[in-house]
Amino acid sequence: MSESAYPSVTDLTLEEKASLTSGGDAWHLQGVESKGIPGYMITDGPHGLRKSLASNTGDTDLNDSVPATCFPPAAGLSSSWNPALIREVGEAMGEECIQEKVAVILGPGVNIKRNPLGGRCFEYWSEDPYLAGHEAAGIVEGVQSKGVGTSLKHFAANNQETDRLRIDARISQRALREIYLPAFEHIVKHAKPWTIMCAYNKINGVHAAQNHWLLTDLLRGEWGYDGIVMSDWGADHDRVASLNAGLNLEMPPSYTDDQIVHAVRDGRIAPAQLDRMAQGMIDLVERTRAAMSIDGYRYDIDAHDDVARRAAIESIVMLKNDDATLPLRKDAKIAVIGEFARTPRYQGGGSSHITPNRMTSFLDALAARGIDADFAPGYTLDLAPADPALETEAIAAAGRNDVAIVFLGLPEEAESEGFDRTHLDLPAKQTDLLRRIAAANPNTVVILSNGSVVTIRPWAGDAKSILESWLLGQAGGAALADVVFGDASPSGKLAQSIPMDINDDPSMLNWPGEEGHVDYGEGVFVGYRHYDTCGKAVDYPFGYGLSYATFAIGDVRVEKTSANTARVTATVANTSDVDGAETVQVYVAPGKADVARPVHELKGFEKVFLKAGESTTVTIDLDERAFAYWSERYADWHVEEGEYTVEVGTSSRDIVARVPVALDGDGKTQPLTAWSTYGEWSADPVGAQVVAAVADAGERGDLPKLPDNSMMRMFLMTMPVNSMPMLMGEGGKAITEFMLADYARRTA
Ligand code: BGC
């Protein structure tokens, strides 16, 4: 860090250092006034600024916050597959933080949507770590480009709300490395967040806040992280253990800094460890000082509302559009049905709840366009049973118009931080109403509002078109009108699979755990990695989404760029007479592998905007990691030698080209031992020489000859060589001894 405005940790007393490792209150760092270190504000996030008004008052109303632009939560934004747009959202949030003097905004949250029932799926990005990391990096880059910090959360494995403060997430090292950590890893290495928030849960027996492996060995040691780690709110249960594990900051404070002082005095905390943790806090203050010193800054509300609207447009996924029902003619007679058209569901519940500075419902957007829609609420948003009068009114409205736009979705109580859902169904009163509306008017368009997946199959036949609009933030109504009337073509792609039935989900057998723990028994087979590997039908696959335009992807080439890397190029043409965007997705399919690998995995993507008739070329580089798996044997990433297939497509199920590429492999080999099978010896370059020597010795009569009938050979190949005596008695023992000695000689 360059010239600092603040004293270094060595200029502070023990008590002052200790005080830096907890907050000043629920939403502030603790300053050291006498030394000129300020106690800046830090607050939620993640899809806009939630500057709590409850700070020092004991008021716990999460919804009581300063008005700010409410951008689409990750549920929506993740469908944009557009990191540059996401960066713009981050830049706008950074500007709002400057105005409100907030030094760190608490987000983004990049935990994997392990199961669509997860209560916080609406604020997480994807079931796929590559997509989650490459999208959410945009938030970190955007916010921090303004001199304001982010807090990448919740590190790690916060994949459910059930028992979230205590649950022990038991995850194999391979699943951690391949699924639950890569989004964090990518962002730490490439976007460098200034802070990270640890999760509430335990990981393999140790609370995240006290997990030395997680916070120090992996994060700082392997990934080279140089920022600070704070606790989730109330996740620090042992100040001393946490500080020793690498937690810089306890939030909110438990006013126990004296515990840190005592622990340093009696040797339970090494002075150097406290210095490291406290210096991190001073560095954070230094990093944010310039932005926090700007006075009188005012962000441009209109410009930010425009960013929110563009972000919302790209968040919308068109799932179905029979008979080109959408876009609607501007002069079509429209019935608009559903309370959500008037009272939008635009964000999720809990700590991420933002007080929007504007709000455009779909009805507002129609009014702004001078459209006098025939509106009927159809149902109430509470849990009350269907209201026959509202239904009759809605069916009549549908019958007397050219088209019925029906808003369906999950009411606020159905999904929130704090609990997991128990099923994927929409409220029955909504789908029953839809059935009757479709009978009255077959030109029915459904617009969905939900933070995580809902089951679609049971009612899909009642809709000619379906727009999955997730949660769209404050400008969602305007964005929907843009799409419905064709001013913008839908371009969102699913960031999570839509299964036919929640029981198809691979994690269901271990969801949400029992007796304080949850086993991630599906390993790396999360979401489409399971559905595609097992050939399981889904309603809509990962990566899927329609457009008003049509596209052709062609001329797909894969060129090897080094021993284990490749470059993919493809042309994309807009073959229609409307402008639109297509997202080219690159999946890597391993060939024969030593471990069970998903049939393919997303390893690159690029969204391209093309005017009618236009075409372009995309280039996507695949690094060594794109082909690797985490080997528990090597405790490292491993690329096996052999043929891989690079797949280019527009969803995990719509692959338009498959191109083989042969990689050299990373050359990692495991030393052979008496416990290696004869087959493993034969496959190893040195082992094969030993095996040949055994055969030669057999020919010469120096060793017994190995059996040559096929059944015995089959047994032999899968047998550790220390079991040769079982097959061949004393002779087998001699062969084993010869092999081990010969191998030792050749590898000496
Ligand atoms: C949530 C965090 C949030 C924090 C502060 C916690 O309950 O898990 O995501 O940032 O509260 O509101």
* DSSP code per residue over 11-79: GS-HHHHHHHTBEEETTEEPPBGGGTB---EEEE-SSS---BS-TTT----TT-B--B--PPPHHHHGG
With respect to residue 669, please indicate whether it lies within any of the assigned structural domains: no
- Residue 232 is encoded by which pair of tokens? 């989730």
Give the distance (Å) from ligand 1 centre to CA of residue 241.
21
The residue among 512, 540, 568 that closes a domain is 540
Taking the C-alpha atoms of residue 256 and residue 234, their distance in angstroms, rounded to an integer, is: 13
Calculate mean pLDDT across residues 76-84: 98
| SS3 (DSSP) at 2 | coil
Same domain, 208 and 332: no
As a whole number of angstroms, the distance between CA 314 and CA 87 comes to 14
**Residue 385 preceded by cis peptide, ω within 30:** no
Which is more confident, 372 or 141? 141
39 in a structural domain: yes
- Judge whether 17 lies within some domain: yes
Q: Rounded to whole angstroms, how far apart are CA atoms 660 and 346? A: 44
- pLDDT tens across 345-389, in order? 999 988 899 999 999 999 999 999 999 899 999 999 998 999 999
| Residues annotated as catalytic (active site), given as ranges | 232
Note the pLDDT of residue 57: 47
Work out whether the CA dihedral 681, 684, 690, 694 comes out positive or negative: positive
Q: pTM of this prediction?
A: 0.96
CATH code assigned at 383: 3.40.50.1700
Are both 138 and 55 inside the same structural domain? Answer: yes
pLDDT given at position 1 = 47
Alpha-carbon distance of 80 to 475, in angstroms, equals 15
Q: What average pLDDT does this structure show over 290-315?
A: 98
pLDDT tens per residue, range 480-513: 999 999 999 999 999 999 999 999 999 999 999 9
Distance 487 CA to ligand 1 centre (A): 38
| Cβ of 44 less than 6 Å from ligand 1 | yes
Q: pLDDT value at position 249?
A: 98
| Cβ 175 vs Cβ 523: under 8 Å | yes
Q: What angle do CA 519, 524, 529 make, to 5 degrees?
A: 125
Q: Do residue 74 and residue 123 come from a single domain?
A: yes
- Token output for 294: 């700007």
Residue 480 lies in a domain: yes
Residue type at 149? G
Q: What is the per-residue pLDDT across 450-482, written as a single tens digit (0 to 9) for each?
A: 999 999 999 999 999 999 999 999 999 999 999
Query: Do the domain assignments include residue 153?
Result: yes
Residue pLDDT, tens place only, 647-695:
999 999 999 999 999 999 999 988 999 999 999 999 999 999 999 999 9
pLDDT score of 59: 53
Per-residue pLDDT, averaged over 276-280, amounts to 98
CATH number at 569 reads 2.60.40.10
Q: What is the pLDDT at residue 55?
A: 53
Q: Does any domain span residue 16?
A: yes
59-63, 140-144, 585-589: the lowest-pLDDT one: 59-63
Q: Which range has the top average pLDDT, 4-8, 209-213, 702-706?
A: 209-213
Secondary structure class of 153 (helix, strand, coil): strand
As a whole number, mean pLDDT of residues 80-102 equals: 98
Per-residue pLDDT of 520-545, as tens digits, reads 999 999 999 999 999 999 999 999 99
Averaged pLDDT for residues 542-564 = 98
Q: Are residues 438 and 558 in the same domain?
A: no
Listed range (259-268, 502-511, 697-706, 723-732) with the worst mean pLDDT: 723-732
CB atoms within 10 A of CB 521: 15
670 or 156: which leads in pLDDT: 156
Note the pLDDT tens digit of each residue in 26-57.
999 999 999 999 999 999 999 999 998 765 54
Q: Which residue is listed with tokens 């951008």? A: 71
Percent over 70 (pLDDT), the chain: 98
The reported pLDDT for the residue numbered 64 is 81
Q: Let me know if residue 108 belongs to a domain.
A: yes
683/692 Cα distance (integer angstroms): 12
Quick check: 256 pLDDT over 70?
A: yes
Q: DSSP per residue over 202-232, as a string?
A: EETTEEGGG-HIIIIIIIIIIT---SEEE--
Q: Is the pLDDT of residue 135 over 60?
A: yes
Asked if 393 and 404 count as a contact pair (C-beta separation under 8 A), the reply is no
Q: Look at residue 570 and tell me whether its pLDDT is greater than 70.
A: yes
**H-run or E-run covering 608:** strand 601-610
Among 72-76, 236-240, 346-350, 535-539, the least confident range: 346-350
> Does 581 share its domain with 729?
no
Answer yes or no: do 505 and 555 share one domain.
Answer: no
| 726: phi then psi, degrees, rounded to nearest 5 | -60, -35
Q: Answer yes or no: is 579 within a domain.
A: yes
**533 and 558 share a domain?**
no
CA distance 259 to 256: 6
Tell me the pairing of strands 374-376 and 601-610: unpaired
Pair 647, 510 in one domain? no
Which amino acid, one-letter code, is at 704? Answer: P
Select from 663, 692, 711 the last residue of a domain: 663
Ligand 1 in contact with 50 (CB < 6 A)? no
Cβ neighbours of residue 329 closer than 8 Å, sequence gap 6 or more: none
Distances from the Cα of 494 to the Cα of 35, 152, 442, 504, angstroms:
51, 23, 26, 18
Q: Is 351 in the pocket of ligand 1 (CB under 6 A)?
A: yes
Q: What is the domain extent for residue 626?
A: 551-663
Smallest CA separation from ligand 1 atom 6, residue: 233
Say if residues 622 and 604 touch (Cβ distance below 8 Å). Answer: yes
Task: Examine the fold and report which residue of 540, 565, 590 is the final residue of a domain before the chain moves on.
Answer: 540
106 lines ligand 1 (CB under 6 A): yes
CA 348 / ligand 1 centre spacing (Å): 13
Q: Specify the residue for token string 């335990």.
A: 202
The preferred substitution site among 159, 201, 232, 419 for testing ligand 1, maximizing ligand atoms within 8 Å of CB, is 232
Q: What is the CATH number of the domain that holds 80?
A: 3.20.20.300
Pick the closest to residue 421 from 735, 703, 192, 122 (CA basis): 122
Say yes or no: 652 and 627 in one domain: yes
165 in contact with ligand 1, CB cutoff 6 A: no
Same domain, 533 and 573: no
Q: Are residues 657 and 522 in the same domain?
A: no
- State whether 423 and 570 are in the same domain: no
User: By three-state DSSP, how is residue 517 classified?
Assistant: strand
- What's residue 585's pLDDT? 99
Q: How many domains does the chain have?
A: 4
Convert the pLDDT of each residue in 608-630 to its tens digit.
999 999 999 999 999 999 999 99
Q: Is pLDDT above 60 for 221?
A: yes
